[in-house]
Chain A
C-alpha cells in the first residue's frame, strides 16, 4: 500500500528566509502524481504545487518549488522568501488511480511557523 511520511511535525523559519519541508513516500507504481497542500487555520485545503512522476523537471510556482527525487522516493517543498501568510499546516499527498478511481494519500502534515 502507498504511504506518505512527513518526518517534521513542526518547522519554523524567519520571515524572508528559506525553509524546506520533507516528504517521502512508498510505492511500486511508476506513474503517479505528488502534491503539496497548504491548510491555514481557516481549514481550507489549498493546492500549492504538483509534480508528475514522469517529468524529471522539478515543478515551480513562484516562491514554491519542489525537489523531486524519484529513485529515493522523496518530494520536498522549498519555500523561498517566507512570508507571514505562509504560516499553515502543509500536507504532502500521493495520488493513485486504480480502475478509474483516484485517491489521495496524505502525510501527517508539518506545521510551519513564520517568525517576524
Chain B
C-alpha cells in the first residue's frame, strides 16, 4: 500500500509565477490536509478537504492560495503569483476518517527566486 505521494519533490518558481503542488492520498483515504513548514519552524495547518469539498480552510492565506480535491485525481494546492515569502516545504497528509491518525507525504519544497 503506497504511502501519501507528493510531487514534485522540489519546485523552483520565479516571483509572479504559479506553483501547483500535487498530493495523492493513501488508498482508501478520503480526507486530505495541507500543512506548510517555514524554515526552522514546525508545520502549520492550512486546509482540510474531503472529496470535492473544502471542510476547513482557516489556515489558508486569503489571497493567491487555493486548494481542491476533485472526485478523480490528486489534491492540488495552487499558489498564484508567488512571492519569496511562499518559499517553504508544503506537506500533504491523509486519513481514512476525520479523526484517524494522519499519514504524511514527504513534502514539496518550493523555492521562489
Contacts and interface: CB of A to CB of B under 8 A. Distances in A.
A103 B93 CA distance: 11
Which secondary structure characterizes the binding site on chain A? strand
Shortest Cβ-Cβ A-B pairs, 8 listed: A106-B42, A45-B104, A101-B56, A103-B45, A106-B43, A43-B107, A44-B106, A100-B98
A43 B89 contact: yes
Nearest to A6: B42
Interface of A: 4, 42-45, 47, 50, 91, 93, 97, 100-109
A44 B104 contact: yes
B43 A101 contact: no
Given A91-B42, A97-B98, 19 more contacts: A42-B106, A43-B107, A43-B109, A44-B104, A50-B101, A93-B42, A100-B98, A101-B55, A102-B95, A102-B102, A103-B45, A104-B35, A104-B43, A104-B45, A104-B102, A105-B45, A108-B41, A108-B42, A109-B42
Contacts of B55: 100-101
A105 B89 CA distance: 16
Contacts, number: 52
A109 B41 CA distance: 7
Interface of B: 33, 35, 40-45, 48, 55-56, 59, 89, 91, 93, 95, 98-99, 101-102, 104, 106-107, 109
A46 to B, nearest CB: 8
B99 A102 contact: yes
A89 B80 CA distance: 31
B89 to A, nearest CB: 6
A45 B101 contact: no
Nearest to A46: B104
